Structure 1
Amino acid sequence: MKSNSARLAAIAAITSYKPSTPPLNFLDTPTKDIFGVNVFSNEVMKERLPKAAFKAVMRTINQGAKLDSVYADAVATAMKDWAIEKGATHYAHVFYPLTGQTAEKHDSFLSPVSDGQTLAEFAGKTLIQGEPDASSFPSGG
């Protein structure tokens, strides 16, 4: 019976949900005004990154150069701060395992700490780590 009451409580929560903001009226708001607003774009990076870090990221994007870990930390901090300002708590990255298909991995910016609080973190090491074969997944990729 407990599982039934949990199910009913979940259904009640879903049916009584009220959004915290009104839905976007797409007739009044042109798509061009909202397209890409939640993308950590070149423009956002240029505003938020030190000049040297921005140039290093552009070399990585345009020439495939490896991003130095010093710059990766600056990028990760700027990206995390920007995302949290936008209300994000999680992020995902897409990768291409050896299966020839795409996959994605979801992680949280927030980590629990001993006093019941959370710590927002996202390190450059996390940003530049590779996922060549999805071997970190329980299935082994």
Structure 2
Amino acid sequence: MFKMLTRILNPLRSRIWDMTLFLFFCVLAPHGMNEIVFGERKGRGQKVVAYYTLEKYSVPMSSKGAKGANYQDMMEKFEEAGFENITLEVEYDIITEWITDDVKVKSVTVNDDGKFASGKEYRADAEVVITYHTYRSNKPK
């Protein structure tokens, strides 16, 4: 009788645990995570393994299109696209504005990729580095 009761309750306990695990991860999933994938291993029993996959975002423009834009506008566009790990780097290289304008983007890299097309997808935690020009006189001493 005990063995029969155990055989009935073990699968039920396993299903209740699986549902609890699923609900726990759905409610408490960190920001930027968009799905939970469940896989099964066959053998003596079945185990459910939860995996997180990071959401991917499309870049708002190509690396070529970013050059020469205002760095603040570029940062806004990447934030609106969903990127959060944005770093600004300043190049204090302008003496006069004849050749290069102040606060214009020199380059944008996403995960060290300096050549990307508009719409290319990267993970939510991708490192975006925006390098822009400004006057040498603005350099802190």
Smaller-chain TM-score bracket: under 0.3
Relative to its length, the structure with more helix (as a share) is: 1
TM-score (norm 2): 0.22
- Bigger fraction of residues in strand: 2
Query: Which fold has the larger relative contact order, with Cα–Cα distance below 8 Å and residues 6 or more apart in sequence?
Result: 2
TM-score by length of structure 1 reads 0.22
- Rg (Cα) greater in structure: 2
